[in-house]
Amino acid sequence: MNYQDRITIESGKRSGKPCIRGMRITVYDVLSYLASGMTYQEVLEDFPYLTQEDILACLSYAANRERQTLLIQA
């Protein structure tokens, strides 16, 4: 999954946090919902403008950030 096609960062939107396709929902929002125990399907039902690809992009973005953190610490 190439998250760069779906995750956008705009300085004037949500304080520059990474958002999904320029919308006001952030990667953090989606990851928080999943971490709280919501399923993909529940997230998609609550936010019908999101797609499964958006959720996968959030996960890919988070994994890449973690990988970058590990590289910096090494």
pLDDT in tens, 14-55: 999 999 999 999 999 999 999 999 999 999 999 999 999 999
User: Which CATH number fits the domain that encloses residue 52?
Assistant: 1.10.10.10
Write down the pLDDT at residue 70: 67
Write down the pLDDT at residue 67: 84
Q: Is the pLDDT of residue 3 over 90?
A: no
User: What range does the domain containing 47 cover?
Assistant: 3-73
Q: CB of 17 within 8 A of CB of 24?
A: no
Q: Is the pLDDT of residue 1 over 70?
A: no
Structure token digits, residue 35: 């971490």
**Domains identified in the chain, total number:** 1
d(CA 45, CA 30): 13
Q: Is the pLDDT of residue 73 over 90?
A: no
Strands 19-20 and 7-8: antiparallel
